[in-house]
Amino acid sequence: MTKPIALVSMPTLRDDVPSFQLALLKPTLERAGYTVVPHSLFLEFSRHIGPSLNRALAEVHMSLAGEWIWTRCAFGDVRPSSEYLSRFHHDLVSITEPAQETPEALVRLRDQACPAFIERVVAEHDWSQYAFVGFTVVFQQMIASLALAKALKARWPTLPIVFGGATFEDDIAAEVMARCPWVDVVHCGDADQTVPELARRVSNRLPLDGLPGAMFRGPDGAVRFNGRAPNLEQMDLTPTPDFDEFVALHDALSLGTGASIQLPIETARGCWYGMKNHCTFCGLNRQGMAFRSKSPAQVVDMLKVLARRYGTRHFNAIDNILAPEYAEHLFGVLAEAKTDLQLHYEIRPTVSHEQLKAMRRGGLVSVQPGVESLSTHVLTLMKKFTTGMKNVELLKWTAYYEISNAYNLLYGFPGETADDYVEQARVIPQLLHFQPPYGMVKARPDRGSPMYEAPTEQKMGSLVPTPVYQHLYPPDFDLSRISYYFEDTRTNVPPPEAYEECLSLVDEWTARWKDSHRPTLTSFKTPGSLSIFDARRGKTVATRFDERAAELYEFCADARRTVDVVERFGEDRTWLDATLAEMLERQLLLELDGRYLALALPVNPNH
């Protein structure tokens, strides 16, 4: 009789979001007849160190603190902790302060809490009962996974250790195999079609030759690779994810109520936009760019099952981009049924006002839209092929429909100019009543991005791994192969001072939104007039437009080309120019990219 299989998800992850990888692999393997025992060890670690500190560490910062705390368990002393604390002091303070800790607490985790956790996990489970132990690795799970795998191998030398997950592009996998002899197999690529056969062979100690996706050591000790597993083309074949273990453990550890859990779902893979235009900074979908999606009917069925089984209505689609047909066919069905489901999706910033309205009716409450810039020139350099005005429109309508908008602004693209940021510095103060970005950060050449793959073509200069990796891995590791984040000597960018005003304005914007009195700009319509109340800068300023002026402002609710405004209202050009000038001077109307947009949010919820 075949032994059961253990699937492990290690820290450092948030404790309110299940591992989707465990939830999908379990029913995938069970379909093939295996008994699967998932272990959401990241939950146990949260209880071990305290949820507030765990959640702070789970946020991915460039100090990669959620990885660093596991270095001693995995590799011993890599570099002195004092060097790490000094080099990343500002970042580490921002991580630990919300948990009412100091950076020195991370040293105690690395030297005491993390080793104790590994020892406890090894001691409390009989890992020898399993045919093999599989680790799924995403985000900041690599070093913790290597640490536990090393401890298991030391205790049970014949226990097979298998790694897999989105982290493992071929080069990263090869470096792990070369430097970590306690890892027996790394699976690369979609697991859906190949992992059941991998499980059969590993469980029965059979050769892995010829199995797509498997990177392993041959009898001579040399690493062999059969090439990446093929992309799963028919997404409807994937099973409904199984979160039973997570929900039960989350409850047993008293980490929060079930209502606080947002279940991840997967309805598509790849990126239909990236197939045509790969955004220069994006390192996702390196080998899996081809877009594939579930049928809307399958998605609805999955949501029904999950909502009933787990009593939740909050779902986070981990897709890289919304399937175009979902705007109508998925959200239309949900809207028609008048469900109270709440969904998050990544979308293109080019979705229309009407599409957002329809999707909000169907339960879309949160988006990650890839705004990235308010400059059309910079967006063109990124290969976003949208405009600054289109991005501002998205900010407006997500604010109006109360759709949470998770976006960043990026800078530092070769070919941009100081004027690109002068223009954005003009625009930003007018948008304070819209949701601000998480921040404004320098674009990175992440592994797999065009900036990384073709640095000369992208005018990036020489690439080097970001300095934090020197503190994560021993000297014998080839950091250029194991790292995901890189730095460069890019040229043809403005001097640092060109960005200072925008950076300061974004900081002020985000600070204003943390205040109890957020900035507002609202409009009230009465027969024949429109009253606008501007509280973006503290004191409320009221303005009223009557008759033709009110009609003009409403006409610009969606961005309008100058030619369209003139065609509609240009019979009295002197009046039109004067009225536009007043609206622009009061910053109630934005002019950008040859278009006008009314910035006030209507109070009427049915706009």
pLDDT tens per residue, range 31-59: 999 999 999 999 999 999 999 999 999 99
533 within domain boundaries: yes
| Residue 258: pLDDT over 60 | no
Residues 213 and 325 grouped into a single domain: no
Q: Are residues 288 and 359 in the same domain?
A: yes
Domain stop point among 442, 458, 483:
442
Same domain for 209 and 273, yes or no, is no
Q: Is residue 607 part of a domain?
A: no
220 and 284 assigned to the same domain: no
The answer to whether 409 and 372 are in contact (CB under 8 A) is: yes
For residue 89, pLDDT over 80 is answered with yes
In this structure, are 86 and 206 located in the same domain?
Answer: yes
φ/ψ region of 516 (left if φ > 0, alpha if ψ in -120 to 50, else beta) reads: alpha
Compute, in degrees rounded to 10, the torsion defined by CA atoms 320, 325, 331, 337: -140
Verify that 53 and 134 share a domain, yes or no: yes
CA distances from 357 to 350, 446, 566 (A): 14, 34, 28
Domain containing 539 — which CATH number? 1.10.10
Cβ 110 vs Cβ 71: under 8 Å: yes
Residue 328 maps to which CATH number?
3.20.20.70
What are the residues whose beta carbons fall under 8 Å from the beta carbon of 423, sequence distance 6 or more?
A: 374, 375, 388, 592
Q: Which domain holds residue 317?
A: 262-442
What's the number of domains the chain is made of? 3
- 21 and 147 housed in the same domain: yes
Final residue in a domain of this structure, among 442, 471, 503:
442
pLDDT digits (tens, 9 = 90+) for 528-579: 999 999 999 989 999 999 999 999 999 999 999 999 999 999 999 999 999 9
| Peptide bond between residue 520 and the one before it cis (omega within 30 degrees of 0) | no
Q: Which of 40, 12, 3 is nearest to 25 (CA)?
A: 40
Query: Are 84 and 188 in the same domain?
Result: yes
What are the tens digits of pLDDT across the range 342-394? 999 999 999 999 999 999 999 999 999 989 999 999 999 999 999 999 999 99
Residues 210 and 107 in one domain: yes
Question: What single DSSP character describes residue 112?
Answer: I
Amino acid at 323: A
pLDDT of 257 above 70: no
Q: Does 423 lie in the same domain as 327?
A: yes
In a domain, 476, yes or no: no
Tell me if 463 is assigned to some domain. Answer: no
Percent of the chain with pLDDT over 90: 89
Predicted local confidence at residue 555, as pLDDT: 98
Burial class, 311, CB count within 10 angstroms (exposed 0-12 / middle 13-18 / buried 19+): exposed
- Whether 74 is covered by a domain: the verdict is yes
Q: What is the mean pLDDT of the chain?
A: 95
Terminal CA-CA length for the chain:
64
- Is residue 505 domain-resident? no
Mean pLDDT for 462-472 is: 95
**Is residue 13 assigned to a domain?**
yes
Domain boundary among 168, 198, 225: 225
Phi, psi for residue 408 in degrees, rounded to 5: -120, 160
Indicate whether 67 and 127 sit together in one domain. Answer: yes
Mean pLDDT of 582-595: 98
| Same domain membership, residue 288 and residue 422 | yes
Q: Which of 161, 203, 202, 156 is nearest to 181 (CA)?
A: 161
Count the neighbouring beta carbons within 10 Å of the beta carbon of residue 517: 8
Both tokens of 442, joined, read: 């320098």
- Asked whether residue 252 is assigned to any structural domain, the reply reads no
